[in-house]
């Protein structure tokens, strides 16, 4: 069963195309990251799913049904910014959220405890710091223990401790079987918590699927010797049709994930009469993989 299925969603603002024929689906129980640089259409897409924006074209389903407000009540959502009545306290604001969702009024204390706002629960919202506002928005999303959470940049405005706490919370919720849809431009955030990912760029879906399949982290071996050109030419003769590039004073050899063996490289160079002055392996960063996908 899919929690969300998106079929050819498009959105235009006048002549500007914010989303172009985006289609993917979010399986139940996944932690689904929507990844993309600023302005790639992540929030627009979530806005359409939550019915605050109207799609120019395409359709979507929630829980395999045509979307309606009753289905939205089963989803806890933090979209873009924390939106609360400035003159009301955390508890008063959450009572409104619970009222709209028609559940969760008895859950207010629990969610405030989760986001560490219990001791400020009666302070008015406008007096909160940015981080506290974000925490309250997460509390509102958790209210009533929804089976699906939609979190748009959930760690915005949080300090490093807060970021770690939210990541831990997301992992905990995922382990409880909840589906989490998370939009982010923070690559490590997605890498650390997501099981699935969709990558958007300029409103187009570049790719989507299992994180491990999309971000196959190639092994990169870096070597150096006194004659860098000779080294490069020699390495090109290595079996496996590997990518060999000069990067400054070193040569990079890209192996398929899990296949790099430093001993073999050293042996091969030694047999070619080259003495290596440097030999090390490093994982290809998610960032460079992301750049590769989006550029």
Partner 1 sequence: MMYLLKIEWLKIKNYKAFLFISLFFLIGIFATNYIVYSVFHNIVNKSDAALLLSNFNPYDFEHVWQTVSYASGYLLMLPSLLLIILVTNEYTFRTSRQNIIDGSSREEYANVKMMMALIVAGTSTLFVVLCALVFAYSSGKDFSITGFSHVGYFFLKALSYNIIAIFISTLIKRTGFAIGIFFIYMGAENIIAQFLDVLSMKLKSSKNIDFGSLGDYLPMNSSDGLLSFPPTPLKSFTTNSLPTEYTWIVLGFAIFYLLLFSWLVRRLIIKKDL
Name the minimum Å distance from CB 77 to partner 1: 5
Which pairing describes strands 16-27 and 204-210: parallel, antiparallel, or unpaired?
A: unpaired
Residue indicated by tokens 């219990």: 118
Sequence-distant (6+) residues with CB within 8 A of 172 are: none
Total chain residues near partner 1 (CB under 8 A):
29
For the segment 41-70, give every residue that binds partner 1 (CB under 8 A): 47, 50-54, 68-70
Asked if 81 is part of the footprint of partner 1 (rule: CB under 8 A), the reply reads: yes
Beta bridge partners, 253, equal: 221, 244
For partner 1, which is the closer residue by CB, 125 or 215?
A: 125
Quote the tokens at residue 185. Answer: 């431009």
Q: Cα(106)–Cα(89) distance, rounded to whole angstroms?
A: 16
Residue 270 interacts with partner 1 (CB under 8 A): yes or no: no
**Which member of 57, 59, 64, 87 binds partner 1 (CB under 8 A)?**
87
For residue 229, the minimal CB distance to partner 1 (Å) is 58
For tokens 């959930």, the residue is 154
Question: What's the min distance (Å) between Cβ of 62 and partner 1?
Answer: 12
DSSP lists the bridge partners of residue 149 as 76, 180
Site for partner 1 in 138-167 (CB under 8 A): 140
Q: Is 77 one of the binding residues for partner 1 (CB under 8 A)? A: yes
Does the footprint of partner 1 cover residue 84 (CB under 8 A)?
Answer: yes
- What phi and psi, each to the nearest 5 degrees, are found at residue 179? -95, 135
**CB contact at 8 A, 45 and 34:** yes
- Contacts with partner 1 by CB under 8 A lie at 47, 50-54, 68-70, 72-73, 77, 79, 81, 83-88, 92, 95-97, 99-102, 140
């Amino acid at each position: 069963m899919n929690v969300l299925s998106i079929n050819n969603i498009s959105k235009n603002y006048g002549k500007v195309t914010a989303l172009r024929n985006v289609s993917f689906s979010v399986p139940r129980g996944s932690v689904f990251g929507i990844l993309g640089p600023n302005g790639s259409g992540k929030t627009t897409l979530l806005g359409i799913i939550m019915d605050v924006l109207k799609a120019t074209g395409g359709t979507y389903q929630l829980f395999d049904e045509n979307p309606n407000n009753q289905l939205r009540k089963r989803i806890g959502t933090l979209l873009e910014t924390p939106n609360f009545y400035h003159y009301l306290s955390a508890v008063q604001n959450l009572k409104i959220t619970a009222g709209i969702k028609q559940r969760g009024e008895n859950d207010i204390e629990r969610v405030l405890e989760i986001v560490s706002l219990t001791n400020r629960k009666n302070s008015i919202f406008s007096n909160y710091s940015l981080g506290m506002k974000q925490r309250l928005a997460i509390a509102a999303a958790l209210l009533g223990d929804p089976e699906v959470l939609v979190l748009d940049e959930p760690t915005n405005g949080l300090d490093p401790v807060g970021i770690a706490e939210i990541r831990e919370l997301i992992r905990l919720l995922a382990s409880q079987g909840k589906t989490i849809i998370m939009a982010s431009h923070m690559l490590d955030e997605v890498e650390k918590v997501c099981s699935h990912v969709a990558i958007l760029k300029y409103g187009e879906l570049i790719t989507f699927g299992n994180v491990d399949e999309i971000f196959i982290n190639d092994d990169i071996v870096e070597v150096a010797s006194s004659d860098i050109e000779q080294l490069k030419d020699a390495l090109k003769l290595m079996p496996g049709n590997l990518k060999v590039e000069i990067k400054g004073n070193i040569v990079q050899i890209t192996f398929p994930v899990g296949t790099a063996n430093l001993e073999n490289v050293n042996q091969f160079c030694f047999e070619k009469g080259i003495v290596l002055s440097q030999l090390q392996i490093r994982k290809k960063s998610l960032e460079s993989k992301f750049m590769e996908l989006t550029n």
